[in-house]
Structure formats: structure tokens, C-alpha cells
Amino acid sequence: MQGVIKAYDPETRDGVILRDTDLSEYDLAPDALVGSVFRMLRPGQRVVFELNESEQAMSLSLGSEIDMGTPAWLESE
């Protein structure tokens, strides 16, 4: 899955990822950055991730700028 970092606190390592395909939000797993290229994350950063059995984001890697099917925003009439 691919998404963007919505929020990240470097002190607590708590964070939220917004998935591209349906805008679902997933909390970062406590060990989400262990073994990854990341030391910290910034809002808006694109990442590829997997979900663990608790539906938390883990196994983060660098995301792509390719649109992975982000839902279109409805225009107000």
C-alpha cells in the first residue's frame, strides 16, 4: 500500500498514515521504523507500507510520486 504521512511525533514515534486509495488512516506500529531507511518522518512524505495483524502500519519504505488511485475530491456545486 502507498500513502502519505499525516502526522508524526519524533519524541513518541506516534504517527498516522493516510492511504492513497481510500484515504483510510492507519496508526504506525511501535516498531514501524525499525530496519527502514527512515530515522524520522515528516507530514506529506510518501511511503509504501504494510499492515500488521492489528491494522497498524509497518515495514515502511520510500513511496512513489505516481498516483496510486487517490480518490477524486467531489467538487461542490
* Residue scoring higher pLDDT (66 or 32): 32
Mind listing the pLDDT tens digit for each residue in 5-51? 999 998 998 999 999 999 999 999 999 988 888 888 999 999 999 99
Write the CATH number of the domain with boundaries 2-62.
2.40.50.140
pTM comes to: 0.78
Closest CA to 4 of 75, 53, 60: 60
Q: Is 49 helix (H, G, I), strand (E, B) or coil?
A: strand
Q: How far is CA 21 from the centre of its chain?
A: 12
Cβ pair 57, 11 in contact under 8 A = no
